[in-house]
Every structure is written in structure tokens, then in C-alpha cells.
């Protein structure tokens, strides 16, 4: 692929990912706000989705095939650039989805029949801040990842998967910590 094709591919990738994320965030906000008692069911549904995604990725093994043709092109391009690192990255993603699924499953079961959690009605400000932080984090990580892959040679990318996994884990822990602190402060200060 030439530079122009890669640029258009990355722009489309950002648009599709952001569109999907905004749709999910709006759906999540609407369900929590307008369907009382749905938190446990919603987190259970996301847990099941995470497990299904991880199992499908395990079954696909090393294939870049995807339901969305754009993601198939991106995966094929990155597999070519990363070589063995792409396979390691796929394994790390599968493990992450299993961990996320387990956490969501635990969250769902712990909130089952818990009236204090079920009756939470987050306001627009809180959901807006959480949504902006989520979108910002995902976009920044994706932009850094895309830039590194697109502007590096195969030799430059040796060891990139290990480094990017550690960076993503560190950023994820930092963002989760920030979200927890913000949520606790928000709840107790009554902003």
C-alpha cells in the first residue's frame, strides 16, 4: 500500500471506531437512564459480548478476517508490517477481552438485586465526562499506534508489541484510577 492508501484507510478506521464507540456510549447512557434496574443485565450483556469476541478470535486463530471489510484490510496491513508481533498482539487482545469479560461478569453478579446500584441515575455531566475521557483515551492510543506502524520499517517494529502492551496496560490503569477518583469525588461532593 502506498502512503495515500494508508492515510485513507486510517481515516476510515478512526471514523468507524469513533462511530461505533459513540453509538455504544449513547446506548449505554440511554439504557442506564431510562431502564431502571438494568445495570446488572447491561454489564452481563457486555461480559457475554467480551467472551464471544475472545472465543471468535481464538477460533479465527491467525486470520485477519473480519465482519467489517475495513478492519480486515487494516489487520492484513498490520500483519504484514508487524510480522510475528501481530500474532503476539492478537494473543494479548484475546487475554484482555477475557479479563474484561470476567470483570464485567463479576460486576454484574455483584450488582444483582443490589438496590443501591440498581437505582443509580447518573446525570448528563457525569456521563459526558466519562464519554469524553473514554473517546479521548481510545483515540490517542489508536493514533499513537497507527503513527508508529505507518512510519516505521519492519526492523523498527521489532519488540513493539511488548512495549505497546505495557504502555496500554499502564495507560489503562492510570485512566481507571482517574475514573475511580473522579467518580468517588463526584459522588461525595455532589457536584
pLDDT digits (tens, 9 = 90+) for 128-152: 777 888 888 889 888 988 998 998 8
pLDDT digits (tens, 9 = 90+) for 18-50: 999 899 888 877 776 776 666 677 778 888 988
- Please give the Cα distance from 101 to 24 (Å, whole number): 16
| Dihedral sign for Cα atoms in the order 24, 5, 137, 162 | positive
> What percent of the chain lies above the pLDDT cut of 70?
88
Say if pTM beats, i.e. exceeds, 0.85: no
Amino acid at each position: 500500500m502506498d502512503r495515500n492508501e494508508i492515510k485513507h484507510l486510517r481515516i476510515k478506521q478512526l471514523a468507524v471506531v469513533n462511530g461505533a464507540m459513540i453509538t455504544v456510549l449513547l446506548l449505554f447512557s440511554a439504557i442506564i437512564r431510562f431502564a431502571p434496574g438494568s445495570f446488572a443485565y447491561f454489564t452481563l450483556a457486555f461480559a457475554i459480548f467480551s467472551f464471544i469476541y475472545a472465543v471468535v478470535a481464538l477460533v479465527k486463530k491467525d486470520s485477519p478476517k473480519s465482519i467489517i471489510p475495513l478492519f480486515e484490510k487494516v489487520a492484513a496491513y498490520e500483519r504484514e508490517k508487524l510480522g510475528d508481533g501481530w500474532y503476539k498482539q492478537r494473543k494479548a487482545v484475546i487475554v484482555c477481552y477475557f479479563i474484561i469479560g470476567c470483570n464485567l461478569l463479576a460486576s454484574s453478579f455483584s450488582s444483582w438485586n443490589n438496590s443501591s446500584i440498581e437505582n443509580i441515575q447518573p446525570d448528563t455531566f457525569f456521563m459526558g465526562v466519562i464519554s469524553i475521557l473514554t473517546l479521548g483515551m481510545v483515540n490517542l492510543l489508536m493514533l499513537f499506534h497507527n503513527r508508529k506502524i505507518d512510519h516505521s520499517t519492519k526492523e523498527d517494529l521489532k519488540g513493539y508489541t511488548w512495549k505497546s502492551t505495557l504502555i496500554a496496560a499502564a495507560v489503562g490503569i492510570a485512566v481507571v484510577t482517574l475514573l475511580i477518583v473522579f467518580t468517588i469525588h463526584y459522588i461525595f461532593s455532589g457536584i
